Structure 1
Amino acid sequence: IPEEVNGYKVIGITDTAFDYSLITKIKLSKNIKYIPDGAFKNASNLEYFYTEENDYFSVVDGILYNKNKDNLIFVPINYPNKDLILLDSIKQINDYALYANRGIETITFNKSLNKIGKYSFFNVYNLESIEFPSSLKIISEYAFKQNTALKTITFNEGLEEIGNNAFYGCTKIRKLTFPTTLKSIGDDAFYHCDYLSEINFNEGLISIGSRAFSNLSALTKIAFPSTLKSVGSSSFSACAYLKEVDFSNIQDIGNYAFALCSSLNKIELP
């Protein structure tokens, strides 16, 4: 990215500037101040970033960060390393940070991360296992949508919110255990996780969004915590082999919450 064009300083780029570009390496000039989240999300051949001395951005091992290196901005889609270890300083993974990444197979989260942004791991090809740190509080909407290789997720105590569509279409996940700190699970959060057969909710959960666990063809039994107050519309619809549901203090069951659960034969209500 040049310092000047026709005598004008280049101080930023738009969010579509590199859409479908075949470029493999990007060097940021010292004048660049503005890079919107997702600016490189469709640059499918991108491997590395470089930068001169810049007051707003840093590059470490080809990965783009803000200057203080507490926000991970973008890992190139075609990044050549398979293993990603987050810097100790990272507090937030920005929106679209690993969008459609092809290279990363393992990720080690640091102990100060508190937020994972929207679409940050959307459609990551090869990531099979994730363990979130206890510092993490928020997994934003669409964060891990369509991670079709993802098999194992470990949530630790500290997590408070899972956003809409966060794990939509992660078809190979088989088991989930949620921490006691988790308050809400968003709409469509685990929709179409086809092989999910075991869900362990813990005390502390208050709400489950619409279609959050819809279309789980392997699920047979659910026991809800006493803290749960509401389940949204169609939240467990089309779980064809679900046989047992146990509520304790539920106050609101949304429309069609268990529609098309054709095997359901036992329900316990307060």
Structure 2
Amino acid sequence: MYLSEIELGENVSEIGRGAFGCTSIDVLELSEKVEFIDNIFSDMHTSTKNEIYKITNTVIIKNPECEIETRSGEWGDVLIVCDENSAAMENAKKSNARCCTPEQYEKGEYDKVEVSPLDIFVCIKKYGMMFKETEDGLEVGKICCVKNGTVVIPDEVGGIPVVKYDYGVKATREGSDIFISIEDRIIEQYIDEIEKVVIGKNVKLLGPGAFTQCKNIKSVEGGEGLEKIGDQAFFELHKLEKFDFSDKLKEIESYAFYGCCNLTDVKLNNALEKIGANSFSECVSLDNIIIPDKVSTIGEAVFNDTHISTLVLPESVKNIGRDAFSCFSGDYKDRNEKVLVSVTKVDRVELKVLNPECEIDGDPFYKNSKDVYMYGYADSTAWNFAHKNQVLDFYAFGDANNDYQVDMSDIVLIMQSLANPNKYGLEGTDEHHITQKGIDCADVDNAGNGFTANDALKIQKYLLGQEKLV
């Protein structure tokens, strides 16, 4: 595809049909020893069969005795440059091909061909892919070739924005296994060559299975306008380390990044509303993530088998799915039992639920409730779950004295521990002195910034109905 020039051997006398089809050779000059040629630029890549495209290459013939194929229409829009009285000129006219003499060619005096910027061959040569028009702009139809391991989806083609890469690929299941075929989306021979993807700024949608099976992709960049990532778009890309998440991204569908075991840098934006089931499951190197405050549902197994030690669910989250959260440690292996990455065990696993009415479906901890510290409001759905399922411990926001209630006694203990630390502080002599757990629970004002009188004031305002604790 990217062959732009070639030096023919001095003994070449015949060149067959399609010898240089689907290359980037614009002009080919033949020596005087070439005696016969068919349409050497025909037969583009099989991906373009039955599609409309124009081949506008130029072939310069020096041998006046050189014969060319004379099938009518065979040469399409190829320009044949040869002497006026040559055999090639006679044959070219018989086949209704574009032709001119060398003198006319130098002066530009020959029939010009208008080529659309959406011409398939032009697009493949320039972008390595085909496009099709939609109501909103252009859609990437098929990736036909890859240069230097990189796929670049352009911002626009011929002034028309490229808005999506969605070929309608669907996954099929057999038992617990998932199978996806993307051969209609990317030429099979290039699937393993892709190491980097750059997404144009106008692309809004990456459809289901967009780059599944492209096992060597390490990074995905750009995509400033991306709004939706489809099912299994980057399914089991074990080498993927970096993905630029758009500030406009609203939806991540199921299994989108499932099994991306080396993905570490995930920064979700505030526009995000939906995180589908299993979307980050088995991302075992992912150790930190902030859930945006527009997300309303944490789907089933979203963060199952990650390395996230602390997950904070904002007040917007109304539902937590089954097996949503677990922390992986040990060797992560592929289907052939090859170790892909080894992950150390974290010392403490925490889930903080800021919505006191958040619905919890089944066990969100993948049967590991007893290994989790859970944070939430006293008498909340989180507290009820923790009480029934015997989590390792429950931390109630504002509960300084650890009686699983928030009232004036918590405010009193905070003030006592600050005023008389020898008696009521962490190492105080009074049997009811504050504990480390109590300090952690009481730290509600700018949580994480330390234990102060402002925490007592915030709890007081909470009891008066003036503020939320977190």
TM-score for the superposition, normalised by structure 2: 0.42
Aligned to 1:188: 301
Aligned partner letter, 2:355: S
Aligned to 1:241: 371
| Selected match of 2:237 from 120, 124, 128 | 124
Shift of 1:29: 3.1
Q: Which runs of 5+ in 1 are unaligned?
A: 1-24, 33-47
Deviation at 1:245, TM superposition (A): 2.9
Residues 246, 101 of structure 1: alpha-carbon distance in 2 compared, 3 angstrom cutoff = same
Q: Secondary structure at the match of 1:176?
A: coil
1:43-70 C-alpha deviation (Å, 9 max, x unpaired): xxxxx9655x8667545784698x9631
How far has the Cα of 1:259 moved from its partner? 4.7
Does the 8 A contact of 1:230 with 1:253 survive in 2? no
Write the mapping of 1:23-62 to structure 2, written as runs, cut at 5 A: 27-31=47-51, 51=130, 58=141, 62=145
Match of 1:13 in 2: none
Compute the displacement of 1:90 (Å): 0.8
Q: Aligned to 1:120, what secondary structure does the other structure show?
A: coil
| AA in 2 matched with 1:185 | I
1:102 matched residue in structure 2: 215
Which deviations, in whole Å up to 9, do the C-alpha atoms of 1:116-170 show, x marking residues without a partner?
A: 0001110012111233112111100111111111122111110001001111111
The match for 1:266 is: 394
What's the counterpart of residue 177 of structure 1?
A: 290
Matched, 1:200 2:293: no
The residue identity in structure 2 corresponding to 1:116 is I
Q: Is the 8 A contact 2:163 2:203 kept in 1?
A: yes
AA partner of residue 233 (structure 2)? S
- Residues 230-268 of structure 1 show CA distances to partners (whole Å, capped at 9, x for unaligned) of 12111023155323432367448898998574xx13353
| Shift of residue 198, structure 1, vs aligned partner | 2.1
Cα contact 1:78–1:101 (8 A) shared by 2? yes
Please say if residues 223 and 244 of structure 2, whose CA atoms lie closer than 8 Å, have aligned partners that are also in contact. Answer: no
TM-score normalised by the chain length of structure 1: 0.69
Distance 1:201 1:162, change over 3 A: same
Residue aligned with 1:177, SS: coil
Residue 152 of structure 1 aligns with an amino acid whose one-letter code is D
Q: If each structure's helix is expressed as a fraction of its own residues, which one has the higher value?
A: 2
Once residues 368 and 202 of structure 2 are traced to their aligned partners in structure 1, the CA distance between those partners, rounded to angstroms, is 43
> Take 2:245 and 2:388, find their aligned partners in 1: how far apart are those partners?
30
Q: What is the aligned partner in structure 2 of residue 78 from structure 1?
A: 191
Distance in 2 (CA, whole Å) between partners of 1:141 and 1:98 is: 15
Q: How far 1:105 sits from its partner (Å)? A: 1.0
Distance 1:249 1:26 in 2: 65
Contact 2:301–2:324 (CA<8 Å) still a contact in 1? yes
Residue 28 of structure 1 contacts residue 49 of structure 1 at CA under 8 Å; is this kept in 2? no
Distance 1:257 1:147, change over 3 A: farther
Alpha carbons of structure 1 residues 31 and 228: separation in structure 2 relative to 1, 3 Å: farther
Measure the CA separation in 1 of the matches of 2:46 and 2:388: 50
Instruction: Report if aligned partners of 1:205, 1:227 keep a CA contact under 8 Å in 2.
Output: no
Partner of 2:452: none
- SS of 1:78's equivalent in the other structure is helix
Which protein has the larger Cα radius of gyration, Structure 1 or Structure 2? 2
| 2:361 aligned with 1:232 | yes
Change (3 A) 1:249 1:229: farther
- Asked if the contact 2:272–2:294 (Cα under 8 Å) also holds between the matched residues in 1, the reply is yes
Say whether the 8 Å CA contact 1:29–1:54 is kept in structure 2.
no
The answer on whether the counterparts of 1:175 and 1:197 sit within 8 Å (CA) in structure 2 is yes
**SS of 1:152 mapped into structure 2:** coil
SS in 1 for 2:165: strand
- Tell me the distance in 2 between the aligned counterparts of 1:169 and 1:190: 8
The 1:244/1:89 distance shift into structure 2, 3 A limit, reads closer
Please identify, of 135-144 and 205-214, the stretch whose mean Cα deviation from structure 2 is larger. Answer: 205-214
Distance in 1 of aligned mates of 2:385 and 2:361:
7
Q: Partners of 1:257 and 1:163 in 2: how far apart?
A: 28
- The 1:182/1:50 distance shift into structure 2, 3 A limit, reads closer
Q: In structure 2, list runs of 5 or more residues that go unmatched.
A: 1-44, 53-126, 135-139, 146-150, 154-159, 167-184, 330-345, 397-403, 406-470
CA RMSD of aligned residues (A): 3.6
Superimposed CA distance per residue, residues 17-66 of structure 1 (whole angstroms, 9 cap, x where no aligned partner): xxxxxxxx76233549xxxxxxxxxxxxxxx9655x8667545784698x
CA distance in 2, matches of 1:119, 1:257: 36
